[in-house]
Amino acid sequence: MQLETSLWYEFTNAVERGPLVYALKIESEEKVKITNDIYKQFTEVFSKEPWNFRLLQK
């Protein structure tokens, strides 16, 4: 299987090899957000370190 990239939301890219999608592990912090609307309670995830990387495409 060869590596492929796919285009996602807001021009982000994913690196894929068959059914696998590669990702970088980053430290994160979760915060529970409580709202009084139809979405009720949900969890927000924030990065604790810089994570903005770029792929060079040929």
Q: What is the pLDDT of residues 3-58, one digit of tens each?
A: 998 988 888 888 999 999 988 888 999 999 998 888 788 999 999 988 777 777 66
Q: What is the pLDDT of residues 36-50, one digit of tens each?
A: 888 788 999 999 988
Cα distances from 36 to residues 30, 32, 41, 42, 43, in angstroms, run 20, 13, 8, 11, 14
**Whole-structure pTM value:** 0.50
CA pair distance 5, 15, nearest whole angstrom: 5
- Specify the pairing of strand 3-7 against strand 13-17: antiparallel
Of 36, 6, 32, the closest CA to residue 18 belongs to 6
